[in-house]
Structure 1
Amino acid sequence: MSQPSFLNRQGLHLRPDPARVIVRPFKPATEPRDLNPTDKMRANHIVERVLALNSEAVAAQLADVLDNFEGRHRNLLERFEARADDMEDAFATHGIFSKAQRQLIGAYFLSEYSFEASALFNPSIVPHPDQSGSPEGGKRFILSLRAIGEGHVSSLTFRTGTIAADGSLTVDPTARLASVPRISHRASGPDGDRVELTFRPEEDLSERVIFPVTESQSNGIEDARFVQFSDGDRKTYYATYTAYSGRAIRSELIETSDFVSFRLAPLRGAAAHNKGMALFPRKIGGSYAMIARQDNENLYLVYSDDLSTWEGGRALLKPQFPWEFVQIGNCGSPIELDEGWLLLTHGVGPIRKYSIGAALLDKHDPSRVLARSSEPLLRPEPSEREGYVPNVVYTCGAMRHNDQIILPYAVSDTFSSFATIRISALMDAMRR
């Protein structure tokens, strides 16, 4: 079927770049308390071999490592020392170390990781907290993306860009380097770890990578749905995401005001045991509200008095049209329009083909569905059908700009692109 007349695909593609790398702990050099006896012995053998080198050999080896890798990362010596601090238990039986020995040992317990070597997809978009330099009638934005590298581990990365008054988009060049944040605070609780992460303010936003840092996230931080949340004059950015441990999934929450410091915490309650939660951008009737998927088939509306606990909920949307007979899910936080809440949805049809549709919810009572698209707004075109997961278009969040919806979307779980939608024409089509 032909593309709707109100949707315009942009000739802008964001593809994975295997040259973008971070450094991360190298096994068996995870936290020593987590090592099995064989790995602990192996870690001690590495330490012993370094200590057997004389000071000149240590200095030469450290200089060689820096010469080989310095241009690929920031503050490598600092990273080496931080990694050595992590390995303090392995040092306990070895006496006193020189600073150079500690740095060299730290280097042996790190590895480079190409975090977006395989895919760069499932984007969401929000207004940039700093709108200085925006063009007249335009807006700066932040794009979050799910990146996948070796071992199919998902992390969270960012881009910035500009929307012109007419809705045309540009994405800023990506920083050459990439970095992971410092864990500034960690607190363990019955539901899992809560962590605070801090990047250096001087790092470009595209340089910042949120890589799994807790057990529940160990195999991936997936599909972050960012939204700019308004509470009076205060604006905060939240994102729900799926934490994947390799055995189980659950929904967790990111909070930030500046995209420099981030707080990550698990969500509690029966409604948070599945994936695909999306927060409304403001309270409804004094309560927080989420669109959630609880049964792998339908969408639910859930309310909560706080941001942490989500119970119950009522069915809101069920598969109705052939392109969504298998299941439906949300495609990001609802967007507030004069006409109501615009909820983008995904539907799964024959041959597991994913398409993007929409529903319009009542502004005061979102449990009332006012209109719904009987045909997809966006479906894979012939040029978009091939990739890691064929026949999929998907988004984790769009935003309104003037009279248009700016829709970033992923193509076959491989790369990302953009489309724009004229709001008035979409409303007319949904009502028909």
Structure 2
Amino acid sequence: MSFPFDQLVFGPDDVDLSRSPLAGKLDAETHVLGAFNPGLTRLPNGNLLMMVRVAEALTHPKRDGHVHSIRWAEDGYHLDAWPLQLVDTADPRAFAMRGGGWKVMALTSLSWLLPVELSPDGRRVEAVHYGRAIAPAASYQCYGVEDPRISRVGDRWLMTTCSVSPERQCTTLYTSDDALDWRLEGIVLDHQNKDMLIFEGLIGGEYWAQTRPLGDAYFAYPPGSEWRAGPSINLARSPDALHWKPHDAPGIRPHAATVSTARMGGGAPPVLTDEGWLSLWHGVEPSGAVGVYRTYWTLLDRDDPSLTVRTGHPPLIEPNPALTEPLKERMYVSDVVFTTGLVDGGDHWIVSSGEADLACRITHLPKDRIG
């Protein structure tokens, strides 16, 4: 699968940790585990803005018989320590507490958001705005701010993020008048709703969003159904982008005929085209510990986005190992492309993705690929 442009444009080696929000505030050495999953929008000056998730990790999380994690609090950043015999450290990104009746874990990294300005075509970096980085600022974000998605609705930009803490995994909203200076508005969706994407425009005078609530149990569809039980993309509506009501009708669901999209979630915020709302989403094929992540597309009805106009079953964008070959010694997952942004580029779409949870990928996608 070839594209007119398909490159990594920003990665872990491009982050200056001396300008990190954590710099000088933590008595431990850190490194960039990944700079990935960038929200994308066009700035008033015509350039593009990627809001990059930077996962800043402890270089030596295990020492003195303990494993450590980073935690923000009002009085600064802290290192918490757990005895190694009480945790499972098989995953380099997190460690799980042993025992108990449910899964409890902690992270070896803390994520913050870095605004990276690109040229209008997304091919090169023009500026990195460290002074406008977004770091944890509330107790519900004490373990980090992750996976931004940016939508422009009218003259205002809306950015959803996943905020992580022992209190809850929740969706938080930031707003901006220029897409560079952001205000934290607080929690808009509660526990473990991972992929909230606000449509880039109102429908019937309301804000709409795709959501993806998680759970440990799902009810089966009847035998012979075209749908597969599991995580799906739901819908919600709001009068003000702050207060959301789940939409009664379901959104995009996994098809029973394929395991390639056995799990799914939102990718880029839907944008309006002549044929309806274009939604790029990720499907996950079970494989190994993480699975294979690919990008798919669906066109939704412009007046009722619970109705599918058309969808594509072959993947639109797939993981590309050739892109990460120069970074192969830094890789900790593979077979993952996680699309997070979509901007009109004229005869093509400019798509931003995280590649292998490691770096930011920009793909020029010809519009005729979506049929």
- Structure 2 length as normaliser, TM-score? 0.73
Q: Which amino acid aligns with 1:13?
A: V
- Give the Cα separation in 2 of the matches to 1:309 and 1:149: 32
Q: Report the secondary structure of 1:149's partner residue.
A: strand
Question: 1:256: which partner in 2?
Answer: 176
| Per-residue CA distance 1:79-100 (angstroms, 9 max, x = gap) | xxxxxxxxxxxxxxxxxxxxxx
Q: CA shift at 1:282, angstroms?
A: 1.4
Q: CA shift at 1:266, angstroms?
A: 2.5
CA contact (8 A) 2:192 2:214 kept: no
Q: How do 1:201-350 residues align onto structure 2 when only pairs under 5 Å count?
A: 205-230=129-154, 235-246=155-166, 248-268=168-188, 273-295=192-214, 297-313=231-247, 314-320=249-255, 322-350=258-286
- Give the Cα separation in 2 of the matches to 1:261 and 1:336: 26
Choose the corresponding residue for 1:391, options 325, 332, 335.
335
Q: CA shift at 1:295, angstroms?
A: 4.0
Q: Which has the higher contact order (CA 8 A, sep 6+)?
A: 2
Q: Which amino acid aligns with 2:17?
A: R
RMSD (Å) for aligned C-alpha atoms: 2.5
Name the count of aligned residue pairs: 295
- 2:312 aligned with 1:406: no
Q: Report the secondary structure of 1:120's partner residue.
A: strand
Unaligned runs of 5+ in 1: 26-72, 74-106, 132-139, 176-204, 428-432
Question: 1:136: which partner in 2?
Answer: none
Question: 2:119: which partner in 1?
Answer: 162
- 2:11 aligned with 1:15: yes
Distance 1:358 1:287, change over 3 A: same
Q: Report the secondary structure of 1:21's partner residue.
A: helix
Q: Which one has the largest radius of gyration?
A: 1
Question: 1:171: which partner in 2?
Answer: 124
Question: 1:145: which partner in 2?
Answer: 52
Distance 1:376 1:409, change over 3 A: same
- Give the Cα separation in 2 of the matches to 1:344 and 1:392: 15
Question: 1:93: which partner in 2?
Answer: none
- Structure 1 length as normaliser, TM-score? 0.63
- Give the Cα separation in 2 of the matches to 1:145 and 1:23: 13
Q: Report the secondary structure of 1:424's partner residue.
A: helix
Identity of aligned pairs, percent?
24
Question: 1:416: which partner in 2?
Answer: 360
| Per-residue CA distance 1:381-406 (angstroms, 9 max, x = gap) | 33357622221100211111212110
| Per-residue CA distance 1:261-298 (angstroms, 9 max, x = gap) | 3211233466x751100001111011110011124511
Q: CA shift at 1:247, angstroms?
A: 5.5
- Give the Cα separation in 2 of the matches to 1:255 and 1:125: 14
Question: 2:73: which partner in 1?
Answer: none
Instruction: Answer 1 or 2: which has greater helix percent.
Output: 1
CA contact (8 A) 2:37 2:353 kept: yes
- Give the Cα separation in 1 of the matches to 2:44 and 2:268: 19
| Per-residue CA distance 1:359-414 (angstroms, 9 max, x = gap) | 00111221110111111111113335762222110021111121211011111101
- Give the Cα separation in 1 of the matches to 2:322 and 2:243: 42
Distance 1:206 1:377, change over 3 A: farther
Instruction: Answer 1 or 2: which has greater strand percent.
Output: 2
- Give the Cα separation in 2 of the matches to 1:219 and 1:384: 30
| Per-residue CA distance 1:220-273 (angstroms, 9 max, x = gap) | 11101011111xxxx111111100014520011010112453211233466x75
Unaligned runs of 5+ in 2: 58-107, 216-230
